[in-house]
Amino acid sequence: MTQRSSGESERVLVVAPLGRDAAIAAAILREARLPVMVCENLTGLRSEFQHGVGVVLVAEEALQTAEYPDLVRWIEAQPPWSDLPIVLLAHRGGGMERNAGARRMTEALGNVTFLERPFHPTTLISVIKTALRGRRRQYEARDRIETIRAGEALLERRVEERTVELETANRELAGQIAERERVESALRQAQRLEAVGQLTSGVAHDFNNLLMVVLGNIRQMQKTEADPAVARRLRMMAQAAERGAQLTAQMLAFSRRQRLEPRPVDLNETVSSMRDLLQSTMGGSVRISTVLEPGLWPAMIDPTQIELVLLNLAINARDAMEVGGSLTVGTANVALPAPLRPEEPAAGDYVMVSVTDTGSGMTPEILAKVFEPFFTTKEVGKGSGLGLSQVFGLAKQSGGGVRIDSKPGQGTSVNVYLPRAATQAEAPAARAQGATDGTPKNRRVLLVDDDSAVREVTAGILHDLGYGVVEAGSGGAALEALDRQAEIDLLLLDFAMPGMNGAEVAREVRARRPDLPILFLTGYADTEALDEAGDDAILRKPFVEEDLAAKLRLALRRA
């Protein structure tokens, strides 16, 4: 409400249509320096209300007109702070103590003061000034009410603003809490990875050396054994040793400590070539279908490892499905936003390969643990708990990630995201040609390994391949042998050895014979020392005869 000026709020409006009462009263009030406005009737009085009014001086005969009800309605509709003072000019004896009409009029008009005619000037001025003082207090009350309302509005705005600020702060705090939980989850995952990695790296070298001896001797015995029963037992022993090697590889892949050999790979070709293997693994009761995206980008990944990933996912899907389920393997080019979970990759372009089943699905509680080492829902002896861990470790180590969508009773879809390669995948024929072409085998190899059993098995494989072998049990012995014999065509060098390790021996050899090709043998190497050697110059234990032959041919051909 707009605050009116003091002159407007103290105007005296006079209505006395008969006789000279209006003129006399106006003259008396003006002489007392009071603002006065004479109105001809109640209609004129009503129109002046909008300009402000302090007191109404009205003759009782003016109220005996048709406009009287409008005045009563206006008075009833006054704002809460207003109680318009009315001085009623009544005939002598017209007070409400003897006049029932006066009482009704008082009840209708509210704040009424009776002034009998003829009135004395002093009495009139006193009554009007008293009414004005009351009116001023009403205006003061109005101003206080408006001030209070303005303060309330300001307070409400500030409360709203503060509420918005608090809501914003709460959202930011919730986001920070979620981010902290995500970081803590990622830290716990990294700590688990580190723990498994340290455990694995501590035993991988010795374990793979043992498996190398076992597998190497089994392979040699299989070449000469004719008894079917013995051959069957040897085959079972070889499978058990290979399973042990695969378990170690899974642990290394999960902890992201396995050395990968990434290259551009056509995942459509990989999935197509594995269809028969997947079908034999799943059994005849499971229907396998593929959804391969045309124009798929090449993926940068170790081709052997991605085959193990698909095989692991297919086995998990088979175990989760009842007889008659279906498995769908798909590929797609995807552009991902920022990750929501630690196992998901960073934003960017990726090549996705997905394995979707119609199995039992997983609850949110199980989904939260599927990437933990050794976590499994299978019966004891049915699984190692490293299948999805290997998938996660390989994807992360390759620069990608994993996302799992699953609901109980609605199946599971595992999406593996691999980085997009900058170049096209090499054709299979070209890879096969590179593996078979090379230098003839009749060359002399200096074999260096501190484990005599591993050295004996490796030497036997080299002899079978047609290579001459010079053996050394340490780095120092290898350097002495190299100084004594000039006709050494290749150095086959174990990396982890006491005294001088393989990297140190290689530096000494290159200083003496820079053109001599070097092929490193390693059960596991947690070092960057082999990064400069390149993947083609590294052979992981345990290896088979075909792997060693291919690496030797490649090393000699490049030399």
Residue 448's nearest CA partner among 536, 529, 508 is 508
Give pTM, 2 decimals.
0.46
Give CA 164 to chain center in angstroms.
Answer: 25
Tokens of residue 534, six digits: 């390149």
Give CA 441 to chain center in angstroms.
Answer: 55
Q: How far apart are CA 267 and CA 417, in angstroms?
A: 11
Cβ 428 vs Cβ 269: under 8 Å: yes
Q: How far apart are CA 302 and CA 259, in angstroms?
A: 10
Q: Can you point out the beta strands (E) in 125-250?
A: none
Q: Which residue has the higher pLDDT, 226 or 111?
A: 111
Residue 99's nearest CA partner among 116, 85, 86, 119 is 116
Q: So what's the pLDDT on residue 434?
A: 45
Max Cα distance, the chain (Å): 151
pLDDT digits (tens, 9 = 90+) for 469-479: 999 999 888 88
Above pLDDT 70, what percent of the chain? Answer: 82
Q: Which residue has the higher pLDDT, 422 or 202?
A: 422
pLDDT digits (tens, 9 = 90+) for 311-358: 888 888 888 887 778 889 999 999 999 888 878 889 999 999 999 998
Q: How far apart are CA 419 and CA 295, in angstroms?
A: 16
Cβ 529 vs Cβ 497: under 8 Å: no
Residue 331 φ/ψ, nearest 5 degrees: -135, 155
Angle between helices 228-254 and 303-320 (to 10 degrees): 100
Start-to-end Cα distance in the chain: 99
Tokens of residue 210, six digits: 């043992």
pLDDT digits (tens, 9 = 90+) for 79-93: 989 899 999 998 876
Secondary structure (DSSP) of 1-18: -PPPPHHHHT-EEEE--S
Q: How far apart are CA 161 and CA 177, in angstroms?
A: 24
Q: How far apart are CA 555 and CA 549, in angstroms?
A: 10
Q: How far apart are CA 99 and CA 526, in angstroms?
A: 115
Q: How far apart are CA 520 and CA 500, in angstroms?
A: 14
Q: Measured at the alpha carbon of residue 59, what is the angle toward residues 53 and 61, in degrees to the nearest 5?
A: 130
Q: Which residue has the higher pLDDT, 396 or 433?
A: 396
Tokens of residue 535, six digits: 């993947």
Distances (CA, A) of 36 to 28, 51, 56, 135: 10, 13, 10, 15
Above pLDDT 90, what percent of the chain? Answer: 28
Q: β-strands 287-291, 326-336: how paired?
A: parallel
Find the mean pLDDT for residues 423-446: 60
Residue position matching structure tokens 């040609």? 433
Q: So what's the pLDDT on residue 308?
A: 78
pLDDT digits (tens, 9 = 90+) for 222-232: 888 888 888 88
Distances (CA, A) of 460 to 41, 245, 424, 556: 133, 21, 39, 19
Distances (CA, A) of 300 to 188, 306, 320, 525: 28, 10, 30, 22
